[in-house]
Structure 1
Amino acid sequence: MRDIAINLRAHSEQRDLIDRAASALGKTRSDFMLEAACEKAQAVILDRTFFALDEAAFARFSAALDAPVDANPELERLLSRRPAWEK
Protein backbone atom coordinates (compact mmCIF):
# COMPACT_ATOMS: atom_id res chain seq x y z
CA MET A 1 0.00 0.00 0.00
CA ARG A 2 1.36 3.38 -0.97
CA ASP A 3 1.40 5.82 1.89
CA ILE A 4 2.55 9.11 0.36
CA ALA A 5 0.70 11.30 -2.12
CA ILE A 6 2.56 13.19 -4.84
CA ASN A 7 0.48 15.94 -6.39
CA LEU A 8 1.21 17.93 -9.53
CA ARG A 9 -0.61 20.15 -11.95
CA ALA A 10 -0.66 19.56 -15.69
CA HIS A 11 -2.32 20.84 -18.83
CA SER A 12 -5.23 18.76 -20.08
CA GLU A 13 -3.23 17.86 -23.19
CA GLN A 14 -0.44 16.47 -21.02
CA ARG A 15 -2.89 14.46 -18.92
CA ASP A 16 -4.53 13.09 -22.07
CA LEU A 17 -1.16 12.07 -23.52
CA ILE A 18 -0.19 10.34 -20.27
CA ASP A 19 -3.57 8.61 -20.11
CA ARG A 20 -3.22 7.32 -23.68
CA ALA A 21 0.25 5.96 -23.00
CA ALA A 22 -0.80 4.39 -19.69
CA SER A 23 -3.82 2.79 -21.34
CA ALA A 24 -1.65 1.41 -24.14
CA LEU A 25 0.41 -0.38 -21.48
CA GLY A 26 -2.58 -1.45 -19.44
CA LYS A 27 -1.54 0.73 -16.50
CA THR A 28 -3.22 3.35 -14.40
CA ARG A 29 -2.16 6.97 -14.78
CA SER A 30 -0.54 6.86 -11.33
CA ASP A 31 1.36 3.64 -12.03
CA PHE A 32 2.54 4.94 -15.39
CA MET A 33 3.68 8.29 -14.00
CA LEU A 34 5.40 6.80 -10.98
CA GLU A 35 7.24 4.24 -13.10
CA ALA A 36 8.32 6.90 -15.62
CA ALA A 37 9.47 9.26 -12.87
CA CYS A 38 11.45 6.52 -11.11
CA GLU A 39 13.12 5.46 -14.37
CA LYS A 40 14.15 9.06 -15.04
CA ALA A 41 15.38 9.51 -11.45
CA GLN A 42 17.52 6.37 -11.71
CA ALA A 43 18.96 7.54 -15.03
CA VAL A 44 19.90 10.93 -13.56
CA ILE A 45 21.58 9.30 -10.56
CA LEU A 46 23.42 6.74 -12.70
CA ASP A 47 24.63 9.50 -15.03
CA ARG A 48 26.30 11.08 -12.02
CA THR A 49 27.72 7.77 -10.80
CA PHE A 50 29.11 6.14 -13.93
CA PHE A 51 31.27 7.94 -16.45
CA ALA A 52 33.33 6.92 -19.43
CA LEU A 53 36.96 7.84 -19.95
CA ASP A 54 39.31 7.22 -22.83
CA GLU A 55 42.51 5.31 -22.08
CA ALA A 56 44.64 8.39 -21.38
CA ALA A 57 42.03 10.02 -19.14
CA PHE A 58 41.54 6.74 -17.28
CA ALA A 59 45.30 6.50 -16.67
CA ARG A 60 45.34 10.04 -15.22
CA PHE A 61 42.25 9.27 -13.12
CA SER A 62 43.79 6.04 -11.78
CA ALA A 63 47.04 7.84 -10.97
CA ALA A 64 45.13 10.49 -9.03
CA LEU A 65 43.31 7.80 -7.05
CA ASP A 66 46.55 5.93 -6.34
CA ALA A 67 48.50 9.04 -5.31
CA PRO A 68 49.20 9.50 -1.61
CA VAL A 69 46.76 11.72 0.22
CA ASP A 70 48.03 15.04 1.54
CA ALA A 71 47.86 15.43 5.30
CA ASN A 72 44.69 17.15 6.41
CA PRO A 73 44.81 17.81 10.17
CA GLU A 74 41.32 19.30 10.28
CA LEU A 75 39.80 16.25 8.58
CA GLU A 76 41.74 13.93 10.87
CA ARG A 77 40.47 15.87 13.91
CA LEU A 78 36.89 15.69 12.61
CA LEU A 79 37.08 11.95 11.94
CA SER A 80 38.55 11.26 15.36
CA ARG A 81 35.67 12.99 17.18
CA ARG A 82 32.92 10.94 18.69
CA PRO A 83 29.64 11.43 16.76
CA ALA A 84 26.96 13.49 18.54
CA TRP A 85 24.52 10.56 18.44
CA GLU A 86 26.96 8.40 20.41
CA LYS A 87 27.43 10.92 23.22
Structure 2
Amino acid sequence: MPTMPRPPGEATARDITINLRASRRQRALIDEAAEALGKTRSDFMLETACREAESVLLDRRYFGLDEARFREFLAALDAPPADNPNLRRLLGERAPWEQ
Protein backbone atom coordinates (compact mmCIF):
# COMPACT_ATOMS: atom_id res chain seq x y z
CA MET A 1 0.00 0.00 0.00
CA PRO A 2 1.40 3.43 -0.82
CA THR A 3 1.98 5.57 2.19
CA MET A 4 0.87 9.13 2.52
CA PRO A 5 3.69 11.68 2.56
CA ARG A 6 4.22 13.04 6.03
CA PRO A 7 4.01 16.78 6.57
CA PRO A 8 7.34 18.30 7.67
CA GLY A 9 7.88 17.87 11.38
CA GLU A 10 5.24 15.16 11.82
CA ALA A 11 6.36 12.45 14.19
CA THR A 12 6.55 8.90 12.90
CA ALA A 13 5.68 7.36 16.28
CA ARG A 14 2.10 6.44 17.02
CA ASP A 15 1.26 8.72 19.88
CA ILE A 16 -2.51 9.09 19.52
CA THR A 17 -5.12 6.59 20.70
CA ILE A 18 -8.30 5.91 18.75
CA ASN A 19 -10.98 3.92 20.56
CA LEU A 20 -13.72 2.01 18.74
CA ARG A 21 -16.60 -0.14 19.82
CA ALA A 22 -17.35 -3.14 17.64
CA SER A 23 -19.43 -6.29 17.74
CA ARG A 24 -17.76 -9.66 18.25
CA ARG A 25 -18.59 -10.50 14.64
CA GLN A 26 -16.93 -7.33 13.36
CA ARG A 27 -13.80 -7.92 15.43
CA ALA A 28 -13.58 -11.54 14.27
CA LEU A 29 -13.91 -10.45 10.64
CA ILE A 30 -11.22 -7.79 11.05
CA ASP A 31 -8.93 -10.23 12.85
CA GLU A 32 -9.39 -12.85 10.12
CA ALA A 33 -8.57 -10.34 7.37
CA ALA A 34 -5.57 -8.98 9.29
CA GLU A 35 -4.25 -12.48 9.86
CA ALA A 36 -4.69 -13.32 6.16
CA LEU A 37 -2.40 -10.39 5.35
CA GLY A 38 0.05 -11.10 8.17
CA LYS A 39 -0.79 -7.85 9.93
CA THR A 40 -1.82 -6.91 13.42
CA ARG A 41 -5.37 -5.78 13.98
CA SER A 42 -4.17 -2.23 14.60
CA ASP A 43 -2.01 -2.10 11.47
CA PHE A 44 -4.80 -3.56 9.36
CA MET A 45 -7.40 -1.14 10.71
CA LEU A 46 -5.18 1.92 10.37
CA GLU A 47 -4.05 1.09 6.84
CA THR A 48 -7.59 0.29 5.72
CA ALA A 49 -9.08 3.38 7.35
CA CYS A 50 -6.37 5.65 5.90
CA ARG A 51 -6.78 4.15 2.42
CA GLU A 52 -10.54 4.74 2.59
CA ALA A 53 -10.05 8.26 3.95
CA GLU A 54 -7.71 9.09 1.05
CA SER A 55 -10.26 7.69 -1.39
CA VAL A 56 -13.07 9.77 0.09
CA LEU A 57 -11.02 12.94 -0.04
CA LEU A 58 -9.75 12.29 -3.56
CA ASP A 59 -13.25 11.54 -4.83
CA ARG A 60 -14.63 14.90 -3.78
CA ARG A 61 -15.71 16.56 -6.97
CA TYR A 62 -17.86 19.42 -5.83
CA PHE A 63 -16.40 22.72 -4.79
CA GLY A 64 -18.10 26.07 -4.66
CA LEU A 65 -16.77 29.35 -6.02
CA ASP A 66 -18.23 32.80 -6.11
CA GLU A 67 -18.76 34.31 -9.56
CA ALA A 68 -15.42 36.15 -9.72
CA ARG A 69 -13.37 33.13 -8.69
CA PHE A 70 -15.34 30.92 -11.07
CA ARG A 71 -14.36 33.24 -13.95
CA GLU A 72 -10.71 33.04 -12.83
CA PHE A 73 -11.00 29.25 -12.69
CA LEU A 74 -12.44 29.08 -16.21
CA ALA A 75 -9.71 31.39 -17.50
CA ALA A 76 -7.05 29.15 -15.98
CA LEU A 77 -8.63 26.09 -17.62
CA ASP A 78 -8.82 27.85 -20.99
CA ALA A 79 -5.28 29.24 -20.89
CA PRO A 80 -2.61 27.35 -22.84
CA PRO A 81 -0.28 25.33 -20.62
CA ALA A 82 3.02 26.89 -19.68
CA ASP A 83 6.05 25.48 -21.47
CA ASN A 84 7.70 22.79 -19.39
CA PRO A 85 10.93 21.49 -20.98
CA ASN A 86 11.31 18.70 -18.42
CA LEU A 87 7.80 17.40 -19.08
CA ARG A 88 8.33 17.69 -22.83
CA ARG A 89 11.56 15.63 -22.52
CA LEU A 90 9.85 13.02 -20.32
CA LEU A 91 6.93 12.64 -22.70
CA GLY A 92 9.38 12.16 -25.56
CA GLU A 93 11.05 9.16 -23.89
CA ARG A 94 9.97 5.58 -24.45
CA ALA A 95 8.32 3.80 -21.55
CA PRO A 96 10.63 1.32 -19.76
CA TRP A 97 8.47 -1.62 -20.82
CA GLU A 98 8.75 -0.57 -24.47
CA GLN A 99 12.56 -0.55 -24.53
TM-score range, shorter chain: 0.5 to 0.7
Cross-structure match for 1:7: 19
Higher relative contact order (CA 8 A, sep 6+): 1
> TM (normalized to structure 1)?
0.58
TM-superposed CA distance for 1:28, in Å, is 0.2
Deviation string, structure 1 residues 46-81 (Cα, Å, up to 9, x no partner): 00159xxxxxxxxxx9996119xxxxxxxxxxxxxx
User: After superposition, where does 1:1-87 map in structure 2 within 5 Å?
Assistant: 1-48=13-60, 65-66=74-75
Deviation above 4 Å: which 4+ runs of structure 1? 61-64
1-side partners of 2:40 and 2:72: how far apart?
A: 51
Structure 1 unmatched runs, 5+: 51-60, 68-87
2-side partners of 1:44 and 1:28: how far apart?
A: 24
> TM (normalized to structure 2)?
0.51
RMSD of the alignment, in Å?
2.6
Q: 1:34 to 1:64 in 2, by over 3 A?
A: closer
The structure with the largest helix share of the pair is 1
Structure 2 unmatched runs, 5+: 1-12, 63-69, 77-99
